[in-house]
Amino acid sequence: MSNNAELDHLLSPAGSDSVFCCSGMKMISRILLLLILSSCLCAATFVVNVTQSSYQAEENHSITLEWTFTTKTQGTWRELFIICEFRSSVKSGVIYVHQDGDEIPDSQHEQFSGRVQIDKDVLREGRIRLHVSRLRTEDSGLYLCDVTTEDGFNSGRCRLNVTVHKNISAVPGQNVSLPCRLPNNKPAVVVKWTRPDLEPDYVLLFRDEQPDPENQHPSFRNRVELQDRRMKDGDVSLLLSNVTTSDSGKYECRVFQREATGRKRRALISDPIWIVFLDVAPPPENEEERKEDGSRNKHVGLIVVAFLIIVAVLIAALIIGWCLYLTKQKMNRSPNSQ
């Protein structure tokens, strides 16, 4: 009898083999119970923790993800196996593998090629410090590290969200485009633009290939739309028409995509993929005109001052000359009188 047939036979509840079936089931249950207790004992003595459960970073920046693990054999590489993986709604893959002191780069996902390093020195202290450089928005997702040592096995996970930050300036009455682009070529099922400082915070909700005005903030009605409803090349930018100073603020772009399998939808992510700061202000004064006006005024002022000085000198000269004339006349009369 083959192993599969024997197992089917053991699990079969019917016929004259029922007694043998019961005893077999009891034996299997005991084995499973021992396995469960053993795994629980290992989990109790060996733990992998994350320093932070969630990380936030900007595109093109770098970040360090950190885990810690307990071990009784700190300081040795004996039976140390680490495998760190990345998972998102559209892809998954290995980003780092370490076995007994050696790195195994061949299994690394191409998305992270040349961008992931580990601090080997702190591994001996039971710490995993994974450095990811030149971050991309597509790096957003779940990061898991499985650790196996002679003391046991466990794993820890954390989430990383990478956003793009943009600053845009506009003047009242302009039409502006707030950029947002998907981190992959997977089309969005839902696009959500919000402004956190408003209540309700919905600027635009686009789903079922059309805008959904329900719960939209009144100030944006009939003034917003997607730049491209077909979302060609992952473009989900927002067009905002006839802006006013009250439109100034922080705008956040979120997307809702299907799972990589395409069979179900992923929950709307809570973290934005793009953050746009819009500043709407009246146009400043023309610097050239202001400079010309200032130069002209300064020139006129100098002329007036010079004119006043000349007048004052002339008046002073007239006064001095008149005084000298009177003095001379007085001196001429004095000898004649004698």
Boundaries of every domain in the chain:
3-45, 48-162, 171-280
Backbone angles phi, psi at 240, to 5 degrees: -120, 120
Q: What is the mean pLDDT of residues 48-64?
A: 93
Same fold across 48-162 and 171-280: yes
Share of the chain above pLDDT 90, in %: 43
**pLDDT band at 305; cut points 50, 70, 90:** confident
Q: What is the mean pLDDT of residues 157-166?
A: 94
Length of the chain: 338
Q: Contact 149/201 with Cβ under 8 angstroms?
A: no
The whole-number pLDDT of residue 313 equals 85
pLDDT in tens, 240-295: 999 999 999 999 999 887 654 444 544 445 678 999 999 999 987 644 444 444 45
DSSP 175-233: -EEE--B-SSSSPEEEEEEE-TTSSS-EEEEEETTEE--TTB-GGGTTTEEES-TT-GG
The whole-number pLDDT of residue 302 equals 78
Q: What is the mean pLDDT of residues 307-320?
A: 86
The whole-number pLDDT of residue 177 equals 96
**pLDDT band at 175; cut points 50, 70, 90:** very high
The whole-number pLDDT of residue 136 equals 92
Per-residue pLDDT at 96 exceeds 90: yes
The whole-number pLDDT of residue 97 equals 92
Query: What is the rounded CA–CA span in Å between residue 54 and residue 42?
Result: 26
The whole-number pLDDT of residue 23 equals 47
Per-residue pLDDT at 12 exceeds 60: no
The whole-number pLDDT of residue 269 equals 53
The whole-number pLDDT of residue 267 equals 47
**pLDDT band at 140; cut points 50, 70, 90:** very high
**pLDDT band at 337; cut points 50, 70, 90:** low
Per-residue pLDDT at 16 exceeds 80: no
| One-letter amino acid for residue 194 of the chain | T
The whole-number pLDDT of residue 109 equals 92
Q: Contact 173/67 with Cβ under 8 angstroms?
A: no
Which comes out higher in pLDDT, residue 16 or 158? 158
Which comes out higher in pLDDT, residue 320 or 76? 320
Q: pTM (2 decimals)?
A: 0.63
The whole-number pLDDT of residue 106 equals 86
The whole-number pLDDT of residue 30 equals 47
Share of the chain above pLDDT 70, in %: 74
**pLDDT band at 160; cut points 50, 70, 90:** very high
If you classify domain 48-162 with CATH, what class do you get? Answer: mainly beta
Average pLDDT, the chain: 79
**pLDDT band at 53; cut points 50, 70, 90:** very high
Query: What is the rounded CA–CA span in Å between residue 228 and residue 221?
Result: 18
The whole-number pLDDT of residue 336 equals 55
Which comes out higher in pLDDT, residue 100 or 251? 251
Q: Contact 176/170 with Cβ under 8 angstroms?
A: yes
Which comes out higher in pLDDT, residue 149 or 237? 237
Topology annotation, domain 171-280? Immunoglobulin-like (2.60.40)
pLDDT in tens, 221-231: 999 999 988 88
The whole-number pLDDT of residue 327 equals 78
Q: What is the mean pLDDT of residues 181-188?
A: 77
